[in-house]
């Protein structure tokens, strides 16, 4: 074998060992997943009173929550969790909102 091939093979072996070490290293911590209902209640408790009672769009909620398998949860799952918690969905038909669907939180005692 030529010196070029030996160097090339040695390089490949070094790269493979480095990649295997990266895969085996415990640097990636497993995320702990909280159910969406818990995440939503924690989110609402962390907000000031004025923001708690405002109507929320689905995009606003999804962007503030963590998903189980991906970074963000699916909107359908968020909708199911919101209905379980007593939230209602309403579509606003005026010039400001132009038919957008908003989620309204339940009345706080």
* Phi-psi sector, 66: left (phi>0), alpha (psi -120 to 50), beta: beta
Q: What is the pLDDT of residue 102?
A: 93
User: 37 phi and psi, to 5 degrees?
Assistant: -65, -40
For each of the chain's 109 residues, which pLDDT tens digit applies? Answer: 688 788 888 888 888 888 877 765 555 556 688 999 999 999 999 999 888 888 899 999 999 999 988 999 999 999 999 999 999 999 988 887 788 899 999 986 6
Please state the pTM of the whole predicted model. 0.67
**Terminal CA-to-CA distance of the chain, rounded, Å?**
82
* Amino acid 74: pLDDT: 95
pLDDT computed for residue 4 by the predictor: 79
Give the pair of three-digit tokens for residue 25.
Answer: 């290293």
Structure tokens at 82: 């919101």
Look at residue 30 in the predicted model and tell me its pLDDT. 64
pLDDT at 24: 59
């Amino acid at each position: 074998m030529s010196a070029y091939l030996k160097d090339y093979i040695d390089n490949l072996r070094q790269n493979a060992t480095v990649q295997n070490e990266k895969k085996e290293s415990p640097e990636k911590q497993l995320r702990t997943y909280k159910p969406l209902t818990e995440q939503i209640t924690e989110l609402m408790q962390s907000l000031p009173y004025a923001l708690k009672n405002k109507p929320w769009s689905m995009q606003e909620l999804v962007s503030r929550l963590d998903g189980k398998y991906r970074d963000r949860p699916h909107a359908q799952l968020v909708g199911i969790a919101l209905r379980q918690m007593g939230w209602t969905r309403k579509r606003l038909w005026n010039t400001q909102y132009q038919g957008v669907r908003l989620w309204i939180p339940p009345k706080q005692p």
